[in-house]
Amino acid sequence: MLSREKRTRVTAVVLVAALVGGTLLGALGAVGAFTGDPSVRIPAQGPWAVLVAGDLSSADCDDDPAVAQSYLSEDVPSTSGGLLLATDARVADVERVVACVTRVVDPARVSVVQVEPAADQPA
């Protein structure tokens, strides 16, 4: 059995190692958040819309061939917007549009939702 002094020292070393490890993991997570790796969840099935809580006007993503329609709020600068993707868009198209948007808007302010196809467009 270890003496009380050695147990205290071992406990202190383990506690410090846990704190340093936790801080290191937190720092690595923060670095990952700024590398442009968006954590935007994309539903498995389309059609999709990319919704943005932020200024979408400077993104110039509505030129993408997968974008069927784009919307911006009327306030200046725009505080929200959306990109409706074509009904035949694929997941790779959604990922490309999301990558375009997250170049200028924080990924935490971007979401992708599944939408109903317009009445005049086939499902």
For residue range 32-52, list pLDDT tens digits in order.
433 334 489 999 999 999 999
Residue 13 has a pLDDT of 41
For residue range 55-105, list pLDDT tens digits in order.
998 889 999 999 999 999 999 888 999 999 999 999 999 999 999 999 999
Of the candidates 117, 115, 123, 108, the residue with the CA atom closest to the CA atom of residue 41: 108
Same domain, 58 and 109: yes
Buried b (16+ CB within 10 A) or exposed e, 55-79: bbeebebbebebbbebebbeeeebe
Query: Is 64 inside a domain boundary?
Result: yes
This prediction's pTM: 0.65
Same domain, 53 and 107: yes
Full residue range of the structural domain in which residue 66 is found: 48-114
Q: Are 51 and 86 in contact (CB under 8 A)?
A: no
Same domain, 25 and 58: no
Residue 9 has a pLDDT of 47
Most confidently modeled of 5-9, 38-42, 47-51, 119-123? 47-51
The CATH code of the domain that includes 109 is: 3.30.70
